[in-house]
Amino acid sequence: MRSVTGRILAAGLLALLFAGCASTPPSSFHTLAPLSQPEAGAVVGKGDFSLGLGPVTFPVFLDRPQIVSRASANRLAMDEYQRWGGTLQDDFLRVWSENLALLLGTSRILIFPSEIRYPLDFRIAADILAFEGTADGHALLKVRWFVLDAELDRVLSAHETAYRRPLSPPGDAEAQLAALSLALADFSREVAAVLRTLPKPGSEPNQSTANAQSP
């Protein structure tokens, strides 16, 4: 009698287990989206810039498979079923490089580390301080970034900037990824604008500058 009861209980537990597995939602995998077309007045001319991107660092709490949002100033929210398709760092660098290639009209962009070697005009390094959904319904990218002379590793320009885009609707993973993509596009535009103001390292001064400096 006990063995029969045990078999019935075991069968019931297995049924509950299978029912729980059947009700588990499937995971969704996401990527960032690059800019899809050039913007008026943004293209400098093909081949004008050779860029190296990296290193780019992320806080450990963001560098994980789950997409992270912030529930409060001190609490993070992670959905086990909303995940990055690859890694956050790789996806960020991929889209950033595509955006800059489009904005600057150049295909000569290397993502570090790289086995390819050719002369670079600039290298851009970045520390990502925030790249997440916020409790007030925005996507936030906060980044500290540096433009360096690629040959000398000398800092030519240093910045810290925050970019915010509203989520529509708030709390939706796809809306968060769309807004984060827009924030990354805003960052890419600022980087492109700064690069246009910098003379290439090692470039000769123009004649008027040389004359002005002559005794």
Encode pLDDT of 126-158 as tens digits: 999 999 999 999 999 999 999 999 888 899 999
Reading the block at residue 206, the tokens are 């123009």
All domains of the chain in start order, with CATH: 47-198 (3.40.50.10610)
The predicted structure's pLDDT at residue 3: 55
For residue 214, the model assigns a pLDDT of 38
Distance from C-alpha of 213 to C-alpha of 208, rounded to nearest angstrom: 9
Per-residue confidence in pLDDT tens, the chain, 215 aa: 445 454 544 555 555 454 444 467 788 999 999 998 765 555 444 557 899 999 999 999 999 999 999 989 899 998 889 999 999 999 999 999 999 999 999 999 999 887 777 889 999 999 999 999 999 999 999 999 999 998 888 999 999 999 999 998 877 889 999 999 999 999 999 999 999 999 887 665 444 334 433 33
Distance in angstroms (rounded) separating the CA atoms of residues 185 and 207: 37
H-helix or E-strand containing 197? helix 173-197
Identify residue 128 by its one-letter amino acid code: I
Angle at 132 (CA atoms; ends 84, 38), nearest 5 degrees: 80
Cα-flanking dihedrals φ and ψ of residue 150, to 5°? -65, -25
Cβ pair 109, 123 in contact under 8 A: no
The DSSP output letter for 84 is E
Cα separation of 134 and 171, whole Å? Answer: 9
Query: Is the distance from CB of 187 to CB of 143 less than 8 angstroms?
Result: yes
Helix (H, G, I), strand (E, B) or coil at 213: helix
Element (H, E) at 125: strand 122-133
Q: What is the pLDDT of residue 20?
A: 46
Report which secondary-structure segment, H or E, holds 156.
Answer: strand 155-166
Task: Say how far apart CA 134 and CA 76 lie, in whole Å.
Answer: 9
pLDDT reported for residue 212: 36
The confidence score (pLDDT) of residue 149 equals: 92
Burial class (CB in 10 A: 0-12, 13-18, 19+), 1: exposed
